[in-house]
């Protein structure tokens, strides 16, 4: 069983939850969001454990972080996750510039981790 955690519990997280049951080898072990009210609502509805901080979720035993934050936060959250030794699956884009995205890919390679982004809906 592969453990994963969500960072960001807005409307995109709901889409992920509708398909998570299709992947029985994935276990959502926690979630965190800057908006405590939204986090509690999401966790209560889906029966997911809420984490109190970014540090807590990155210290968790999840091996994959699913980054569902706003695009402006993607680079910093992805970088923090990689630095914590986590694989990253990020909603598009990986970062707000090609240079930042290249830095993330290099960091993942240096650490032997995988970083990938969600495909465009049109594809």
- The pLDDT tens digits of the residues spanning 60-112 come to 999 999 999 999 999 999 999 999 999 999 999 999 999 999 999 999 999 99
Alpha carbons 96 and 32: distance in angstroms, whole number: 22
Per-residue pLDDT, 120 = 62
Q: Whole-prediction pTM value?
A: 0.94
| Confidence band of 121 (pLDDT split at 50, 70, 90) | low
- The pLDDT tens digits of the residues spanning 4-62 come to 999 999 999 999 999 999 999 999 999 999 999 999 999 999 999 999 999 999 999 99
Residue 86 near residue 29 (C-beta atoms within 8 A):
no
Per-residue pLDDT, 119 = 79
Share of the chain above pLDDT 90, in %: 94
Alpha carbons 17 and 2: distance in angstroms, whole number: 16
Alpha carbons 115 and 79: distance in angstroms, whole number: 10
**Range 56-62, long-range pairs (CB < 8 A, 24+ positions):** 56/30, 56/32, 57/5, 57/7, 57/30, 57/31, 57/32, 58/84, 58/86, 59/84, 60/3, 60/5, 60/29, 60/30, 61/3, 61/29, 62/3, 62/4, 62/5, 62/29, 62/30, 62/86
Per-residue pLDDT, 123 = 47
Distances (CA, A) of 101 to 12, 57, 95, 104: 21, 22, 5, 5
């Amino acid at each position: 069983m592969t453990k994963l955690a969500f960072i960001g519990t807005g409307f995109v997280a709901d889409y992920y939850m509708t398909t998570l049951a299709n992947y029985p080898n994935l276990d959502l072990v926690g979630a965190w969001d800057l908006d405590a009210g939204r986090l509690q609502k999401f966790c209560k509805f889906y029966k997911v454990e809420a984490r109190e901080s970014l540090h807590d979720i990155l210290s968790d035993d999840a091996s994959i972080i699913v980054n569902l934050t706003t695009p402006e936060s993607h680079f910093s959250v992805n970088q923090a996750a990689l630095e914590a030794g986590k694989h990253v699956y990020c909603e598009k884009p990986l970062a707000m510039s090609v240079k930042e995205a290249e830095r993330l890919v290099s960091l993942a390679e240096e650490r032997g981790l995988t970083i990938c982004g969600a495909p465009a809906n049109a594809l």
